[in-house]
Chains A and B, each alone.
Chain A
Amino acid sequence: MVIFALLVSIALAGIGRHTAAQRIKYAVWSFVLFLAIGIGLAWLMYPFSR
């Protein structure tokens, strides 16, 4: 999940922003959101897995 989030964030930052600083900031933000939402959804589904 980490590798996928990192690589997709790089691609999204490439098209979403224009300067290097903006791209890095956007990529980091997107990466954190990917992980937070992924882990959050996993915990939300946890009660239904038992």
Chain B
Amino acid sequence: MAEEPVNEAAPVPVAVRRKSLSALPFLVALASLAVPGLGHAWLHRWGRALAFFVAVGGLALTGYIMRGQVFTTVSNDPFGRLGFLADACSGVFYVLARFLEATGPNLSRAAGDYGTRFLASAGIVNLIGMLDAYAIAGGRRG
């Protein structure tokens, strides 16, 4: 039986490769969560890295200066647990809480209450930065 002639002019179909799950976006997101702006710096997005470091750091430091409450893992109510999640998302600034707010919270004044909100906002803004870094590393954003 004669073989069919091979048409060398026809394009060879490219084998469909399975889309592999790259670890880079997750690592970038973790870096951004640990240190605000680090994920963006890893991707050489220096403007965004600086913006998030200044924003998250400024919010956290302002919260500590106002002597806001820093929530811990030990809490009796859902509000405290949510507060811990929000505070912890500020990464290294949460770890430094014991040094930056050595005198502890002062909720007897309005400033302490505002400080609590500032600390939670720092974590939320860092979450936004983490998601942005993840999207850039995954190629979904420019």
- CB within 8 Å of B: which residues of A? 3-4, 6-8, 10-11, 13-15, 18, 20, 23
Contacts and interface: CB of A to CB of B under 8 A. Distances in A.
A38 to B, nearest CB: 13
B56 interface: yes
B69 interface: no
Interface residues of B, number: 18
A11 B55 contact: yes
Interface in B49-73: 50-52, 54-56, 58-59, 62
Interface secondary structure of A, over-half rule: helix
A15 B127 CA distance: 13
A7 B59 contact: yes
B87 interface: no
